[in-house]
Each structure stands twice: as structure tokens, then as C-alpha cells.
Amino acid sequence: MLKLAEKYVNEAYDYVVCLIDMDRIMTNPTESKKYYERKKGRKFRRVIFVETNPCTEFWFLLHFLPNFSEKRYQNQTQLIRDLQKYMPGYEKTKHYFKRTDLFCYLNQHGDINRAMQNAEQLCEKNKENPEDEISYSEIYKVINLINELQPMV
């Protein structure tokens, strides 16, 4: 993924967003070392690394949680079990994503403002106490960037 990001930077894209599922990084010491070394490298100034711990599905779940929660999900399987309470039939497969308009589902059944607020609070908590290893998602940063780039109407 880092090589692909570098390619896009060299092609003069304004921004390149890399969504990182931290469960994979944390369980593979070689990938973890490469990720943190390259992330700090100068050639990635226009690359935005967006982390979600443990995985992207946590961002989906944040749309539905009725209250702010610092629950730690140990793995994707544990998280998906909770997500399926709000998204019955959810599975991390191409087939699911082809037949489901995820954006529409989250907009119709979830609350993006709640997701943004919860995500920002969790990221702050994670910064304050990284040793707690709470679940978090930085996807809100990309949405904020997109909103900033939208022309004023």
C-alpha cells in the first residue's frame, strides 16, 4: 500500500488517503516496523494515514452506538458480532459490498454526526492514554478534509 501511495504522490495527486486496519499492523512486527518508519518519512507529506483499531468495521459501528463507549475490541470477529446487531447479515466479503450500498445504509439507519463525535473523542482518549489500547477510528479526519475542500455554496 505504501508503494501505491508513493506512486500517487508522484503523479501529483493533492492527497492520498491510506486506510489502515491496525489489527493487521499490530499482529505483524515486520509490517508494524515498516509502517511506522515510512509513515514518518518525508516523501509521504501529502499522504494521510487513517488508522482504525482494530478494523474499518469499527467506523461503521460508531454510526449506531447509542452512547460513547471506550470498549476495546480484541479482533475483527468480536467487533463484527456487535456490528451485526445493527447491520444484520453484515459480512466482510465482496459479495456483501456489491449487493449493499453501504453509504446509503449508514445514512438511513445510522448517524454520521454521532460517528464523527464518538470517533473524535476516542482518538483524543487514545492520544492521552495510548497504553489503554482502546478501539478508535480516524476516518472522521478524512470526512473533515472533504468538507473543507467542498466549495462554499
Domain boundaries, the chain: 2-145
Q: What is the pLDDT along the chain (153 residues), one digit of tens a residue?
A: 778 887 888 888 888 898 989 988 888 888 788 777 776 655 566 788 899 999 999 999 999 998 888 889 988 999 999 999 999 999 999 999 999 999 999 999 999 999 999 999 999 998 898 878 889 999 999 999 889 888 755
User: The pTM is what?
Assistant: 0.86
pLDDT at 51: 92
d(CA 29, CA 75): 17
* Cβ-contact 86, 61 below 8 angstroms: yes
